[in-house]
Chain A
C-alpha cells in the first residue's frame, strides 16, 4: 500500500500550499502548472512559476483547473529535450499528460530527471471553447460537486467521459480527487515514490491509511467504460465511411500539431515527399476524372494511425482542436486500443517497457505471416 499524507485542508488549498512551500523552501526551482495569463479575463496556459505567491488562494496559478490548453506531456518534453532539468522542478499534470510524457521519454524526447511529478485522479477537463468564451471561471463549483461523488460534469470533453485511465501511473504524488466527498475540507496525498515522500517532508498532516482505488473510482471506471463502448460503437467503419468522416477534414494538421506522441519536428506528411508532381496529378485525373485537392487526407490519417496508435494515450487534444468537428480522438483511441491489446501494451505505464514496434519476440504473432 502506498504511503500517504492526509491534510486538514481542502484539496485545492492543500495543493497550493504544498507548491508554495516547495518554492519558498527552495526545494524546487520552479513549478509547471496551469495559470491565468494576461489578467482576470485572459486565457489559461501552462506556465513555469518561480514566485511562491502565485500559489496563494487568489494567485495567478490554477494548479487543479479542469482544463487542458496543451498536453503538458509535450511541454515537459520540450523543457527536457536537450538535457535534463538542472534543478528540481515540480509539474502538476493530468494522468494522460503524464502517460504522454512517459511515452516521449521512451522515445528519447525528454528526461524524468529532476522532475517531481504531481498528478491526481482525474474528473476530466472542459473543451477548449469553454476556456475561449470565458466560461471557465464559473465552472469549478459544479465540476467539483460532481467529482466529489465520483460523477463527471456533463460538459467535460467526451474523450474524458470515455477515459478509463484516470488514475495516474508514475506520479510521485497523487492527489485523490474523484469520489472524495470531503475534498473541500480534507486532502489525501498519496506518496508513490521516495522522491514524492522526500519533497513533502515537513508538511503538516497525518499519515494516510486510505486506499487510492476506492469504490467510487471503480464505479466511475465502469461508467466511463460503458460510455467508451458507446463512443467506439459510433465510429463508422469501412472505406466509404472513413472517406465520409474525413471528408470534412480541412487539412490544417492541427491534430498532428497538438498530439504529444507526434513529436517529429519535420512531419513526413508536410514534406516534399507528400507533394504530387504535376504528372502525377495528370495521371490521377486521367484515371479518376477528378481529384480532391489537397490530396492525401486519408493517407495522412491512416499514416498517423500507423505512427501513433501504439502509443496513443487518448488525451483528446486532437478532437478538441479539430475545426471540422471530426472525432479524431475517438477513432485513434479505438484503433489504439486494439493495436495496444495486440502487444499487451499500455502506453505510459512503465518507462522501462519498450515501445512494441522497437522490439519483438522470437516466437509470437505466427499467424500474421502466411
Chain B
C-alpha cells in the first residue's frame, strides 16, 4: 500500500537555543524518531516570518513545525511570545479559508534539556500528518 510508504516531509523551524539543541541531543542519544522533520535552524522562534511557513507549505511541505523555548525562557526574552501571536494569526487565516494547513501546522515549546520531548513532538506530529496524507499542494500546477 502506498499509504504505508508515505513519510511526510515536515519543515521544522527550530530555535538555536532550545529546540535545535534538544533535537541535536535527541539524535546524539539515539532516541527513536521518524526521519520526517527537515530542520531549519533559526536563532529564535520569533525569527520565523509567517511567509516562511506559507512558503514551505506552497512549495509542498506536508507539515510545518515551529519549535521554540517555553514562555519565559526565550533567549531574547520575548521572541517566542511574538511567535505565538503569529502562529495564532496564521491558524486563524487557514481556518477561515478552510485550508487544511491549519492541521498541518504546529507550534511547540521544547527546552534545550527536553530531548525526549522533542522526539515525542516529532513522532506525534508526524503521525498526525500521516493521517492527513500527502499535501494536495504537491502536484498543484497553479500556486
Chain A residues packing against B (C-beta within 8 Å):
235, 237-243, 247, 268, 287-292, 295-299, 302-303, 305-306, 309-310, 331, 334-335, 338-339, 342-343, 356-357, 360-362, 364-365, 368-370
Contact = CB atoms under 8 A, between A and B. Distances in A.
Contact of B55 (A288, A299, A370): A299
Among B87, B109, B142, the one with the most A-chain Cβ atoms within 10 Å of its Cβ is B142
Interface of B: 50-51, 54-55, 58, 60, 71-72, 78, 81-82, 84-93, 95-100, 106-109, 136-143
Contacts of B106: 370
A369 B97 contact: no
Given A309-B93, A338-B96, A247 B107 contact: no
A362 B71 contact: yes
Contact of B93 (A268, A297, A306): A306
Contacts of B55: 299
Contact of B100 (A235, A239, A288, A295): A239
Contacts of A338: 92-93, 95-96
Given A356-B85, A369-B87, A298 B58 contact: yes
Contacts of A365: 84-85, 88
Contacts of A343: 85
Contact of A339 (B60, B92, B141, B143): B92
B90 A306 contact: yes
B80 to A, nearest CB: 9
Contact of B89 (A237, A288, A334, A339): A339
Contacts, number: 112
Q: Is the interface of A mostly helix, strand, loop or mixed?
A: helix
A251 B78 CA distance: 37
Nearest to A292: B142
A368 B68 CA distance: 13
Given A239-B100, A306-B51, A298 B143 contact: yes
A312 to B, nearest CB: 11
Contact of B54 (A288, A299, A310): A299
B78 A368 contact: no
Given A241-B98, A343-B85, A370 B143 contact: no
A239 B136 contact: yes
